[in-house]
Each structure stands twice: as structure tokens, then as C-alpha cells.
Structure 1
Amino acid sequence: MTDSKWPKLDDATMLQRLAHPKGRVRMVLDTDTFNEVDDQFALAYSLLSPEKLELLAVTAAPFYNWNSVSPADGMEKSYNEIMNIFGLMELDPEHTPPVYRGSTQYMSSPGEPVPSEAADKIIELALTSPEPVYVVAIGAITNVASAIAKCPEIIRNLVVVWLGPNSYTWPTQKIFNVSQDYHASSLIFDCGVPLVILPCHGVASHLLTTPYEIDACLRGRNRLGTYFSDMIRGRFARFGQNRPGWSKVLWDVSAIAWLISENWVPSSVRRAPILNPGFTYSFDDSRHFYKEAIDIDRSEVYIDLFAKLQHASLSPEEAKHDQKAEHS
């Protein structure tokens, strides 16, 4: 059962919140941007989809792997990479969302939030927004869980969209965005916040691309496109990858694609699983609802993403005019 310390949404309200949003979405993007190469694509995709997404803020998430020396270092590198993407896109300051630093460590227990300006901003937006705020988390969920632990009331006005676990049928949930911070991950499943999961293996894993496709679609189109081409080729050269036949999943793009069109990323409602310390699921049909994507149309997602990235240095009005001309 959901812990009594959390505000409880009745089933009707929960199902309403889990329905695919109509109209424009007010969102926060929580991203470990320097961790890999997919966050950068997801960030740019969010900024280039103003017809559906109103990006209120971007928050830097912690990560710790071969690209960082600590969670704090990963968060700071992510913050700087967000700024780098903004610069490459040559954004008009009026259309540039504010950026906030996130957690410098992981949660030590489910009830102890990690203080950060990112968590505070999520709380502020949730408490003041006239409509639900969609927090799209594409890294460790520490910032979001800390905001909820610090101010549980925000559950009433949040929807969390998380590229985190694998499909519920997968034998393990020991995957990077979940296993970095077990306490934060388990809190997200237990607290009763409206939650939409984009599974890594089973759904997002279909978003394979290759250096050759990225070069053909993006290289030379603008500064951002060439940066993405260089990044895809450079980041993985040290591992002997990036050779003919090799492909890369742009995992995080799936979360943005779900917000843009559920026709591309169909999903279904289930009862929220319990995340065990060994990163397996247990199931209890008395628990609250959550939503999980079950498939993704790779072609539709990449057609939309590449078209928008090709116009990344244009104003929204110029890009819209240019895309109409291409399709006429």
C-alpha cells in the first residue's frame, strides 16, 4: 500500500493525470546531459517542439560512471553541457529556459531529500502552476524524489515521465537510471505520484541509429547537427565501437516522443510495482496506478526529430515555414 505520509490521489484522478495530455504541456526536463549522447538529443528535441512543449526549466541530474569522478562532478558537467547545447542552438534569450543545478549526491534514505536548487524549483513550479507540471526525468531520479520528499504536497500537481526502468516483464531493473539511487527510485514507485515509465529495454531500445544515419541527416546542416555527428563518432571510439554495423540507442528521445504523440509511443495502465533492493519487481494489485509504454514507432519519432534538428538554428517561425516548404 502507498505510505500514509503521501497525499493520495483517488483512482479517477490518477487515471485522468495518466491520460495523454491534451494541448501544450508545461514541463521540466531533468537530465544528466553529459552522461552519454542521448540527453543532448532529448534536450534539443524539447526546445524544438514548442507546438507541444513549454519548457519551464532544465535541471541537471547527478551521474557517476566513466564520464565523471563523482555524482557531483557528473551533475556539474551536465549543467555545463546544457549551456553548451543552448549555445550551439543560438537560442534567443527570450526563448531560453532557466537552468538549475541538481543534487551532488544520492539519497541516503527514502525520507532524506538531497538539497538542491533543482528540487526547490520543481517544488516552486508544482505549487504555483495552474496546470499539472510534467517533470521529464531522463537520468537518476534523485532531484525529483528529493522534491517530493521535501514537499509531498506537490504530488497533487505533478506528472513524472521517467526514462528509467526496463519493461515490467524484464527479469531485472538493474539499469543505470534506476540503480544509481535505489532510495530515490523506490520512492517514485511508492509515493503515488502520477508516473509514466518509458522502459529502456523493451521500448526505448528500438530507437537505434548509426553514425552514418546521423551524418546523412545532420552533419553540416548547422552547428548542432555537426556537433551531434562528432559526438556520436567520438564518444565511443575508445571502446572500439563506431565501426560498420555498430548502432546506438538514443534512449532519452523516447520520453519526449511520448509527450508529443502517444500514437508513436502507445502505453497502458497497470498497478505500480514494488522495486526491491535487488532491483527486481514485486506486484500488489492493491497499489496505485501507473502508466508504462509498451511500444515505439521508431520511424515516426526519427522523422520528426531529424526534421526539427535540421532547422535547429532557425527561429520557431522560420523553422515552421521551412518545414512547410519541404513538405509542399
Structure 2
Amino acid sequence: MTTFPQITDDERIRRLQHPGRPVRIVLDTDTFNEIDDQFAVIYAMKSGTSVTVEALYAAPFYNELSESPLDGMEKSYQEILKIRQLAQREDIPVHRGSASYLPGADVPVDSDAARDLVQRALASSPDDPLYVVAIGAITNVASAILLEPEIINRIVVVWLGGHSLHWPDTREFNLAQDLHGSRLLLGCGVPLVLVPCMGTASHLLTTLSELETHMKHKGVLGQYLYDTYRNCSPDHYAYSRVIWDISVIAWLAVPEACPSIWVPSPRISEDFRWVNDPTRHQIRYIYHVNRDAVFRDLFNKIAEVK
């Protein structure tokens, strides 16, 4: 069984304060899975006063858009390359991630993404940690932690995963795809900012008409995001959609829009429900997002056409 470094409660709380300054991030994303990843990748690239994107990792996913986790990862990798070219940010490295989910509680899946994360994390320090922003199955990040547990002392993970603690279940796509990886993340002691989906990120609804007003004709990226949203549904009458993944970038870019509390890191039951355990270490838990403030920040940055 892997032994993980121990972090004191005071140190954990210090590391999980909002940094209040620009930070280095890597973004782990299942970009082909849904349209919200495209928004999040571009939001991160346009938030240069808050984050510097050091690398992008393709996460595995498996649903009706892919034939396997490997196929989902490869499609996400190609989608990241497309966005990087549109954004004229080909200086940002892109790495393929895991071809499968963790096969066991203590078994990593080796990949270029996991190895790159280990290398970048080891080059960081507790006083200047690397922020690992994850918006898909947590396989790449969990694998990196298993490959080199020391990185727990040098990273902060910001993850969109699971539903709110009061939700009847937490059978959410990111969390449920890789139960071993999700349990490892919540149990290993890594400093974690958890952004739930239903009940929190679910506030981030927008419509085609709103994007037509505030994104369409706002440069190549604004037009691309507008077109991506328009193509996601054949009928936009009385239709809105949650852009889930921008929530994690919002915590770094507009933290006042993402209030949080301290909670013990929950366990996950076999039937995908949160289990409260007051003996566990503390995590930062985002319990709400101010939808208007987040979209205002995103629209303003998209409007800064260069």
C-alpha cells in the first residue's frame, strides 16, 4: 500500500487559502466530452492576470462520444490541439493522458500526462505549489500521485467532481468514471479544493441568445465558443445549458464569486453516496457560485480581442 506524505493541519489550511496572486497551473481536461471544457480551456488561457497555463493534459472518458476511455482521451487530445491553434497558444505543451482508469486502489496508469505532472510538481515547492486544475476523471492526477507521492507536498488540486454534499447521491460523471482514482484523491491528503457539480457548478447556466450578445463576433475565440454552443442542440427555444467546467477557473480568477467552507474530506460509498467522516483531513469545499459574476468575468476576457 502506498504511503503518502503527511501535511499538518496548519500547513494544509495555509496552502488552501486562495493564492491572491497569479499562479502556475496545469489543466487536465476531457475536452471532447462536452462543450464546457472548451469554455474552460479558453477561459484559463484568457485569465493571464490570475493563472499561467503551463501544460494541458487529455483525460480519458467513455460515453456515447467515445468507443473507450482511450478513444475519449485521444479525441480530447486532438480537441486541445485545435483550441490551442485557434488561441495561437502553441507554446503550451499538450500531453496524452491515461488509456484506462485505475485498475485498482493502488495501481497507477502510466502516461505522458502523469509523468509531466510529476516532473513539474517536483520542480515546485510548498511555498509556490503547482495548481492542478482537473475537469474530468481524475485518473491522470491520481496516477501521478501514485507514481511519486512526494508531489502531495508541492501541488494544490482544484477538481470539479461529485455533487454537493447534501445531494441524494454523488454519481457524477467525473467522479463515477474512476472510483479508485476519486477515492485516492479524497483520501491521500493532497490539498484539495472541491467544486461539486449539482448544487454548485450547476448554477452556471447560459443561453444561445446571451452568447450571441456577448461572445459572437468577439474575435476568433468568441465566435468559436458561440458556434460550439449553437451546435450542441438542434433546438434553442427555452433552452439553457450548464457550462460546468468554468467553475474551477472562476475560483482562481474571481474567488469572491465562489464562497467556500472547510469540511472533512468525505468518503465515497459503493453506491456512490457521500459518507461524512469527521476524522478525515480538511478540504476547501465550494458551496455556491455567483453565476452572473463568473460569466461577466468570462465575457470581459473574451471581449479583449487581440
TM-score category of the 2 structures, normalised to the smaller one: over 0.9
Instruction: Determine if the alignment matches structure 1 residue 233 to structure 2 residue 215.
Output: no
C-alpha contact (below 8 Å) 1:48/1:309 kept by paired residues: yes
- Does the 8 Å CA contact 2:33/2:65 hold for their aligned counterparts? yes
In structure 1, the partner of 2:208 is: 211
SS at match of 2:193: strand
The equivalent of 1:140 in structure 2 is 137
Whether 1:98 aligns to 2:105 is no
* Structure 2 equivalent of residue 279 of structure 1: 272
Deviations 1:269-289 (A, max 9, x none): 111111112111112211111
CA separation in 2, counterparts of 1:269 and 1:157?
20
Contact 1:166 1:199 in 2 (8 A): yes
Aligned match of 2:243: 250
Partner of 2:284: helix, strand, or coil? strand
Partner Cα distance (1:105, 1:71) in 2: 5
Equivalent positions of 1:1-328 (< 5 A) are 5-91=3-89, 93=90, 96-130=91-125, 131-237=128-234, 242-312=235-305, 314=306
**Identity over the aligned pairs, expressed in percent?**
46
CA contact (8 A) 2:157 2:191 kept: yes
Q: Name the CA distance, whole Å, in 1 between partners of 2:32 and 2:184.
A: 25
Q: Whole-Å Cα distance in 1 between the matches of residues 12 and 30 of structure 2?
A: 28
CA separation in 1, counterparts of 2:168 and 2:53? 35
- Cα displacement (A) at 1:90: 2.7
- Does the Cα contact within 8 Å between 1:110 and 1:149 map onto a contact in 2? no
Tell me the distance in 1 between the aligned counterparts of 2:271 and 2:9. Answer: 29
Distance (whole Å) between structure 1 residues aligned to residue 256 and residue 278 of structure 2? 27
CA distance in 2, matches of 1:244, 1:210: 9
Amino acid at match of 2:164: S
C-alpha spacing 1:236/1:66, structure 2 compared with 1 (3 Å): farther
Separation in structure 1 between the aligned mates of residue 219 and residue 64 of structure 2, nearest angstrom? 29
TM-superposed deviation, 1:211: 1.1
Post-superposition shift, 1:126?
Answer: 0.8
Q: Deviations over 1:192-246 (max 9, x none)?
A: 1011111101111110001111122111222222222221121233xxxx32111
Contact 2:86 2:220 in 1 (8 A): yes
The one-letter amino acid paired with 1:126 is: A
Which ranges of 4 or more aligned residues in structure 1 deviate by more than 3 Å?
A: none
Distance, in Å, in 1 between the alignment partners of 2:238 and 2:249 is: 27
TM-score with structure 2 length normalisation? 0.96
Task: State the SS of the aligned residue for 2:280.
Answer: coil
1:125-148 per-position Cα deviation (integer Å, ceiling 9, x unaligned): 111114211100000000000001
TM-score calculated relative to the size of structure 1: 0.90
Q: What is the CA RMSD across the aligned residues, in angstroms?
A: 1.3
Contact residue 164 and residue 199 of structure 1 kept, 8 A: yes
**Aligned partners of 1:224 and 1:16: how far apart in 2?**
36
User: 1:251: how far off?
Assistant: 0.2
What 5-or-longer segments of structure 2 have no aligned partner? none
The count of residues paired between Structure 1 and Structure 2 equals 304
Question: Structure 1 CA distance, aligned partners of 2:184 and 2:283?
Answer: 14
Cα distance in 2 for residues equivalent to 1:235 and 1:77: 17
Q: List gaps (5 residues or longer) in structure 1.
A: 315-328
Q: Which amino acid aligns with 2:142?
A: A
Distance of 1:262 and 1:212 partners within structure 2: 27
Q: What CA deviation, in whole Å up to 9, does each residue of 1:45-89 have, x standing for no partner?
A: 111111110111110100111111111111111111111111222
- The question of whether the paired residues in 2 share the 8 Å contact of 1:139 and 1:177 is answered with yes
Tell me: CA distance 1:128–1:139, structure 2 relative to 1, closer, same or farther (3 Å).
Answer: same
